[in-house]
Amino acid sequence: MPERLSPLEPVFHPGSHGNFEHGVDVILTETRPGSILQLAAWPGEEKRLIEAIRKVTGLALPDGAGGGVADGAKAVFGFAPGKFTVADAAEGLAAAFAKVVTPAIGTVTDLSHGRTAIRIAGPKAEWVLAKFFAIDFALPAFPIGAGRSTTHHDVFAQIQRTGADQFDIYVFRSFARSFWKALCHASDEVGYEVQ
């Protein structure tokens, strides 16, 4: 398979930036999963789709929108009733899902070449993200593994909390560069590191 080029390459500058005299409070990186999929169940077929997700990924997904789980190189979360985002370090995950998600259950859409995954981590990650999105990022309201679907201006974003102070954000590749630049700018005052 051809190597996927990053849309962030011209603006991806590793190192410490902003007000980092007293350390960095945010770490930004591009995670570059091999597969990013959207799965959608037909009405009444949600439980069968959740079982198919468990079968392919090995991850037990809670029922309902917003629930999710992240386990190292794999992540799954619901972002709307019967709709899920699946990310995995492995390429070609769409073919594995196509074998178990039949047309009677729902649909599988491979978004791997259409999305960019950005990770923000650190003690000020919630604070920086709150500048962009009208979402309660506090741990009780947005637990580990959970996902949300929202927008920042015209940039559609799916966000999953993958750690106590860590979030993965999936945006359209065509908006990734401008979103990255805005995220860096919003992180300036707390100090950030690009890895």
**All domains of the chain, ordered by start, with CATH?**
11-32+114-194 (3.30.1360.120), 35-110 (3.30.70.1520)
* pLDDT surpassing 80 at residue 170: yes
pLDDT at 69: 83
Residue 153 clears pLDDT 90, i.e. is over it: no
| CB-based contact 187:130 (threshold 8 Å) | no
The tokens describing 42, both together, are 């037909």
The total of other beta-carbon atoms located within 10 Å of residue 91's CB is: 13
Q: Quick: pLDDT tens for 64-74.
A: 556 788 887 89
Helices (H), 117-191: 125-130, 173-187
Say yes or no to pLDDT of 3 above 80. Answer: no
CA distance 175 to 11: 13
Average pLDDT over residues 113-134: 96
Element holding 94 (H helix, E strand): helix 93-100
Instruction: Assess contact for 175 and 158: CB atoms under 8 A.
Output: no
3-state secondary structure of 163: strand
This prediction's pTM: 0.91
User: Residue 160: beta bridge partners?
Assistant: 147, 168
Residue scoring higher pLDDT (44 or 79): 44
- Mean pLDDT on 145-160: 90
What is the amino acid identity at position 168?
D
pLDDT digits (tens, 9 = 90+) for 80-107: 889 999 999 989 899 999 999 999 999 9
Count of residues in the chain: 195
